[in-house]
Structures are given as structure tokens and as C-alpha cells.
Chain A
Amino acid sequence: MEGCPRSRETCPKLLDLIPQERKWYHDEEKNNSDQEKKLELRLAPPGGDEEDHSAMKKKKNLDTRNNIKKEAEYKPIFNLSGNHFSPSNKTTYAPPHISHKRTAPGPVVGWPPVRSFRKNLASSSSSKLGNDQINKSGEGEKQVEPKREGMFVKINMDSVPIGRKVDLNAYSTYEQLSFAVDKLFKGLLAAQRDASGGEGEEKPIIGLLNGKGEFTLTYEDNEGDKMLVGDVPWQMFISSVKRLRVIKSSEISSALKFGCSKQEKMRN
């Protein structure tokens, strides 16, 4: 309050601190003036016009996914620190970031505010029968032991010589697994393409589950059959998967040659 300039010209605008390269912040913003209006100190008590205006705005943005507008007002700040911590930091600390994309806001560090030992409940006890309606059979029992230690399965990708391992216990949905596969192989794939004379740019690996992407995720189950990932409920998948393979979508039919009939049966 003391000595703080009220005029807009002298107030440091954080927007000005953003380097030009990060243009997308500016592009995403609706009205600069609208935003600055909100930052401006007013003599009138809070409420009244400003409140109605914002309440109206918020009414339209009921769904969190659409709340980007609200976030847009102070988004830029959160991403400024994107690179302040070196990636080699061994700890689990990561700079906070809020997704600025027009899709669902990405996960934020430390939110919801639940301590880490409470966060793994969903994956480690997903086999427990408490709330789970799917596997009340003896299969649930079998899963209990390996679940505790982490369920690592091998995963290979076409045209990438290096295979990896994923801990399926760390995920509880196919989306999470798909995201993890993208993270695992994106860099390797780009390196591979670079080496063979193609474009070395890292492209996200998407569409793994719906057949629309360049690659598709498949798996081999405990009976040796090759299946498309995503058809059966997650629990059933977990109980039967032995290894994973990311194949070119164009080669689906030949890759699943031996599992064809089974796949069709499951589809029906």
C-alpha cells in the first residue's frame, strides 16, 4: 500500500517479463485489458460489478476442463519457472505447472494435497476385493502377492531395438498406460528415426488404443495369444497380460494373426 504506484504504467506487468518465444501465453489470453482490470486496485468495495461479471463468467465455466479461461488470467506466472530445476534433480520435486492447452488441465505438483504415501493406494490395492466388482473370483487372490512388489512386464516397440519394462501397478487405467508408453518411447523413437535418416523430432505417440494413431498397443496374454490392448476391463487385462508390444497400426491384422479368432470372440 505504501508507495505502490496505482497507475498501470509503472506497475511491473508480469506479462512483460515473459520472453517473446513463449508466444503461446499471449495468444491464449482473451482480453489483456480485462485481465488488467482485475489486477487493478479499486477504491470501491469488492463486489458489485466486478463480482457479477466474474460470477457470470464462472457460470459458463462449470466444468474444470473449460476453466482454462479463469486459469488464463494467471497462467503465465506458473509456467515461468518451468526450467528452474535441473532435470537431474534426483528428488521427486518438480516445478509446478498448469497446462495451458485447451484440453484437460494437466496434473499439478502437490495437488490434491495428499502426502505421497497416501497416493499409491489406488494402484497398490486395486486388486483388493473391497470395492472391486470385477474380480471376486480366485484370480483376485493370485494377484495379491505380485501386486505388492510391482508388476513389471516387458514392452517392445517396432523399429526400436531397445525394449523397456513397465510397472503395471503404477497405473489403473488404459489412458495412464498409454501416456506412459508415450513417455517411454517418444525419445527412443525419434532417435531411431534420426539415425535412419528420417526426421528426428520427437512426436507424441498417440492413438495407441483406438487404432487411429501410427502405432497400436498390443499384448500377449498368459495363454500366448496376442490381443489388442483396451478391449477388456483393466483388472482382467492386468491379470492376464504377460508382455506388451507397440506395433505399427498398419500391421495389426498380420501381427494378431494367431489371436484373431479370440479377438473376434471378445468383440462379440
Chain B
Amino acid sequence: MSEDDEDQSPATDLRSQPPCSPNKSRNCISSSQTFPDHVLENVLENVLQFLDSRCDRNAASLVCKLWWKVEGLTRSEVFIGNCYALSPARLTQRFKRVRSLLLKGKPRFADFNLMPADWGANFAPWVSTMAKAYPWLEKVDLKRMFVTDDDLALLAESFPGFKELILVCCEGFGTSGIAVVANKCRKLKVLDLIESDVTDDEVDWVSCFPEDVTCLESLAFDCVEAPINFKALEGLVGRSPLLRKLRLNRFVSLEEVHRLLLLGAPQLTSLGTGSFSRGDQSQQEPPDYAAAFRACKSVVCLSGFRELMPEYLPAILPVCANLTSLNFSYANISPDMFKPIIHNCHKLQIFWALDSICDEGLQAVAATCKELRELRIFPFDPREDTEGPVSELGLQAISEGCRKLESLLYFCQHMTNAALIAMSHNCPELTVFRLCIMGRLRPDHVTGKAMDEGFGAIVKNCKKLTRLAVSGLLTDQAFRYMGEYGKLIRTLSVAFAGDSDMALRHVLEGCPRLQKLEIRDSPFGDVALRSGMHRYYNMRFVWMSACRLTMGCCKDVARAMPNLVVEVIGSDDDDVNRDYVETLYMYRSLDGPRKDAPQFVTIL
């Protein structure tokens, strides 16, 4: 709205407007010089800057061409849920001033070895395109992407203001790539390596950080399976006054953590404790670990315990009262050791643990952690026919004690419908419900019935449910419930479930918000696949492996839906079974099928 605008060239879609309409502000000078649309564009730019939510931005960009253009100019954070839904070139053409990119690659089932390596999701084309287009890029957050050391080097060199690198479940790089980033990104605030596969190139990457004071606020390397130079780390922590989050890997011993805490404990808000065992086995008197933790006055998030020596666990007691997040999922802790700790964690909202804490431990959680929002119980021994230390008893207790529960991931050997029904009534805030009964096709072990009613109650009563993963013995009826009541479900994971095509049809013909569908080893075939054709364009992806699909049907779908990329993974062409589809992965794409598909992928 400033006077400068009048000097600039008019917008191409200039329309003849009555000059100086009464609505114009007094800042507009003479009527013959005003270009209303150009002014509007600037107004829009200024206003749209405040729009953060990408849903709002997507909506705004649909209003008209002008809004579309201006929104494209002002969007600084871009989210791409599937890296193959569009090409990097399209990204840089549409959005001109991107500062932050969140990019997701492989589908989730790739984590469980259901997809061969080298499938794709390479970061390389993205980083090379962005290197030219976005010199002011500050943040890259990747999930399940294949990132090489060269990619990291290019990133480090191309973006002088680079601040945040977050790699979740990624692979393809090693400590040498990390070293380059540490060394060249002088403004680096965040370096978070989470659950990624980092090869040990035997490079001392910690020493590669610049010598002077750093901007580091968060450093997470708990997944890096390589020893580190502790002295260098000590030095780094000492010259990083802004460091708030530090997650160490298992090569850092308790004594070393102790030393680090003495250096910088009061500022830390999040601590990953490394191995939590003594490196030095000699008979020396161990230092006062509790004192070190007492100094951690700001720590609200605690994780690590990668090789826990349980006798030292009580050292964390001083921080328990402040904890909002506690991750014990690498520690084999017995109920007796666990209960004294959890009794102090009244403020806990996020809790991850192994099932070694047993139902007894879960009862203790239920008794104390009234603010609990997220619970994840992982199996210590992930096999199918073990006895299983957690069961419906633990789940029942949690549902009764933790009424604010929003997100659940629970691995167990046995479950009952009754417990699920109880949870559906007790925890109305549930948005994520993922239950994995590890024994395949297990019914309710008390009544012998299928788990239909339990999951049915969850979808019926938890009205905010957006993510669901089912297991155990399930008939088509369960899916009927899902289709009918799962009004907000966006992500659905199915394994070894259902009786017939009807099950999948119920879901595809119901569940209006379904975006991500992943199915394995279930008897769903062509009929079911065809029944969803009216909606695949509105979904992010569909994964079906070891189901009953035929090549013919998949080809039909591909033909009928040209903007859908239909990938068939693993089926042989010259086998008698050529009609059988091992794995189907399909997703919408604006730029057609990808060019980097490996040999075992057939794009129909």
C-alpha cells in the first residue's frame, strides 16, 4: 500500500477499475496511477505471511490466480508427504522463497523389510535443484529418504544460512557426511539424527565443528553406531551456550555423561543419557550421578538408557518430578526397578517403554501419570509365541488411570475385546490407536471370539480417531465398523486380517478422510481394489503386499487413472505366476512416473 508500488510495472491481469474507489485508503495518490491488483498483491503478500498452517495456505491458493501466485511467493515452509508426488522442478517453480522443507520418502512398511533396498526416495535430485533455487534455505527435515554423503556435502556448501538438519529413519550416509555438515554449516542450530542408519566411516565428526562458539541448540545422535571423541564432545558442549537438547549414543558412558552434565546441565531441557552404564569397570568409587542429575533443573525430556545398568537408575530420581517425556524403550527394566521411578513422574505426558515393565508397571503408570497423552510399549522379545509380559490387564489399567490419553502404540501377545471396549469409553481423546497383537490371527483369549467388537468400539466411541492399526483375528465385520464409524481416520494399517474383499470395500467405500492405507497379508483382491477407484486421487498412497491382486486388475487401474503411479514391486515377468502381484504401491503424482525406478519395480 505504499507509494512505491506506483512505480512498478502493472500486473498482467490488470483490469479496468474505477479509479480511486471510496474504499481506497488515503495513501493512494492520484487515481490514474493506481493499479488496484498490484496493490492487492502486496496487501495479500503481507497478510498471507501470517498464515502458517499449510491447510490454510492450500485453501488460500485456490481462491483465484492472484492468490495462488502470491501464496506461492510467500510460502516459506513446504511439506511434501511423498517425494514422488511431484518433481523438484515443480517445487521450485511454484514456490520461490522456501526456507524450510519437510520431505518424506519411502512408505512406512519399508521399515520392516517389506521393500528391497535401493527402491528409491533419493534426496539427490532435491538437493541439487534446491541448491540453485533456494540459496536461503535454512531447514531440511527428511523422513525415510536415501541421503548420501555427497548430498550432505552439497547441502553444506550450497546454503550459507543453513540452520536445521533433521534426518528421521534415513540411510545412505555416514559419519563423513555428518562431519561435512558440522564443519561447513556455521549457523547450524539443529542437528538431529533420529532412528537413522548411519555408517561408521571412522571419522571424528564431533571434532569437525568450528572452533569458536557455536549456535547449536539441539544435537541428537543416539542412533549413530560409532564411538565418538568424548573430549571433543566435552569441548563442543562447553562452547555451545545455547544447547538445550543433547541426545548421546550408546558409546557415551555414565561417567562421561556425568562430566557433561557438570558442564551444561542447567540449560538442558532434553537429555539422551547414552549407554547409562559404567565404561570403567574398575573398583573405583563411582561419582555421584544423582548430583549431576540434580543439576538438571530444566530437563523435561529424558531418554537413552541404551545399555542400562539398573543399579544406577535411581540417579535420575531428582529429575522425575519435572519430566514430561520419558523414553525407556531401550532398557530392560523389571517392574520392581521401575515402580520407584515412575511414582515420581506426576507430570509425565509421553512415555515409551519395553514390555519388561509388565502389567504391574503399567498399573503403576496408570496410578501416577494422570497427564499421560502418549504411551508406547515395545516388545523386548518380538517373537510370536512367547508368553508376553503385558496384556489386557495393563491396557485396562491405563485406560482407567490415564483418561487424557491421545496416542497409543501397544505390542502384546494377548488381548481381549473387553479391554478395548473399556478403553474406547475411558479415553475419548484418542487420536492414534495402534495395537499389535504379535501372534497373528489371535482371537480374544478369554472369549475366543474375533477382535471385531473391540476395534469396533474404538472406532465408534473415539470420535477423534485419525490413525488406526489393527491386529489379531478380525473378520469383515471389523472393517464394516471401520468404514461406518471411522469418519476422521486418515491412516489405516492392516495385517493378516479380514475374510474377503468386502472388508476392504467397507473401508474404501466409507472412511471419508482416508489418506494412507497400508495392508499386508490379507485376502483382498481385485474386486476390492476396483471399489476404491473413485478415491485414489484423494489419497496419498495405497500399499498392498501379499494380498490377492492380479496384474490385470492393477493394469486396469493404472489405465483408468493416468495421474496415479501404480508400482508393482517384485513380481516376475517370466514366471508362471506372472499374474500375481506381490506388492502394490500406488500414489498420485503431478509429474508422472518416476525415472529412477530400479529393475524390480514395474510401473504400470
Q: Which residues of A are in contact with B by a Cβ distance under 8 Å? A: 1-2, 4, 12, 14, 17-19, 38-42, 45-47, 50-51, 54-55, 58-59, 62, 64-65, 67, 70-71, 73-74, 77-78, 80-81, 84-85, 89, 91-96, 98, 104-105, 107-119, 121-122, 125, 128-131, 141, 144-145, 148, 172
Contacts and interface: CB of A to CB of B under 8 A. Distances in A.
Contacts of B309: 128-129
Contacts of A116: 113
A14 B311 CA distance: 58
A81 B332 contact: no
B523 A39 contact: yes
A112 B493 CA distance: 13
A78 B502 contact: no
B223 A2 contact: no
Contacts of B330: 121
A109 B114 contact: yes
B450 interface: yes
A93 B473 CA distance: 27
Contacts of A107: 383-384
Contact of B570 (A65, A85, A117): A85
Given A70-B441, A111-B440, A121-B330, 14 more contacts: A12-B579, A46-B500, A51-B477, A80-B580, A81-B546, A85-B116, A114-B378, A114-B411, A118-B378, A121-B354, A125-B308, A128-B332, A131-B380, A145-B281
Contacts of A85: 116, 570, 600
Nearest first, the 10 closest Cβ-Cβ pairs linking A and B are A110-B112, A91-B117, A130-B332, A46-B476, A112-B438, A122-B381, A74-B523, A59-B448, A93-B116, A114-B382
Chain B interface helix/strand/loop/mixed: loop
Interface in B285-321: 307-311
Nearest to A128: B332
Contacts of B234: none
Contacts of A91: 116-118
A51 B475 contact: yes
Contacts, number: 214
B314 to A, nearest CB: 14
Interface in B443-494: 443, 445, 448-450, 473, 475-477, 480
A104 B579 CA distance: 30
Contacts of B522: 74
B195 A115 contact: yes
Contact of A1 (B354, B439, B530, B575): B530
A50 B379 CA distance: 35
Contacts of A78: 521, 546
A255 B547 CA distance: 52
A71 B441 contact: yes
B112 A113 contact: yes
Contacts of B531: 1
Contacts of A74: 521-523, 548
B477 A58 contact: no
A74 B572 CA distance: 20
Given A110-B113, A114-B411, A148-B307, A130 B546 contact: no
13 contacts: A12-B550, A14-B525, A39-B523, A47-B477, A51-B475, A77-B547, A89-B116, A93-B117, A113-B109, A121-B354, A122-B381, A130-B332, A148-B307
B331 interface: yes
Given A67-B441, A85-B570, A115 B112 contact: yes
B482 to A, nearest CB: 12
Contacts of B571: 81, 84
A128 B520 CA distance: 35
A41 B332 CA distance: 48
A14 B443 contact: no
Given A51-B477, A54-B499, A112 B384 contact: yes
Interface string B494-526: 011001111001100000000000001111011
Contacts of B443: 58-59, 62
Contacts of A125: 307-308, 332
Chain A interface helix/strand/loop/mixed: loop
B521 A4 contact: no
Given A54-B475, A94-B113, A64 B440 contact: yes
Nearest to B442: A64
A175 to B, nearest CB: 11
Q: What bracket does the count of chain B residues touching chain A fall in?
A: 35 or more
B450 A58 contact: yes
Among B501, B526, B550, the one with the most A-chain Cβ atoms within 10 Å of its Cβ is B501
Nearest to B389: A131
A128 B476 CA distance: 44
Interface in B67-125: 109, 111-118
A93 B115 contact: yes
Nearest to B281: A141
B195 A2 contact: no
A39 B525 CA distance: 9
B568 to A, nearest CB: 11
Contacts of B58: none
B552 to A, nearest CB: 8
B332 A105 contact: no
B377 to A, nearest CB: 12
A115 B381 contact: no
A117 B109 contact: no
A76 B548 CA distance: 10
Nearest to B522: A74
Contact of A17 (B311, B495, B521, B577): B577
Contact of B475 (A55, A84, A109): A55
A98 B548 CA distance: 15
A96 B332 CA distance: 30
B214 interface: no
A45 B525 CA distance: 19
A114 B355 CA distance: 13
Contacts of A92: 113
A105 B310 contact: no
B548 A77 contact: yes
Contact of B530 (A4, A46, A98, A145): A4
Contact of B502 (A17, A41, A67, A148): A41
A62 B499 contact: no
Given A62-B443, A111-B495, A96 B545 contact: yes
Contacts of A113: 109, 111-112, 436, 495
A122 B576 contact: no
B387 to A, nearest CB: 13
Nearest to B528: A1
B527 interface: yes
Contacts of A112: 379, 382-384, 411, 436, 438
B337 interface: yes
Nearest to B337: A130
Nearest to A109: B113
Contacts of B496: 111
Given A14-B580, A95-B570, A129-B310, A64 B441 contact: yes
B439 A130 contact: no
B329 interface: yes
Contacts of A19: 576-577
Contacts of A129: 309-311
Nearest to B496: A111
B333 interface: yes
A69 to B, nearest CB: 10
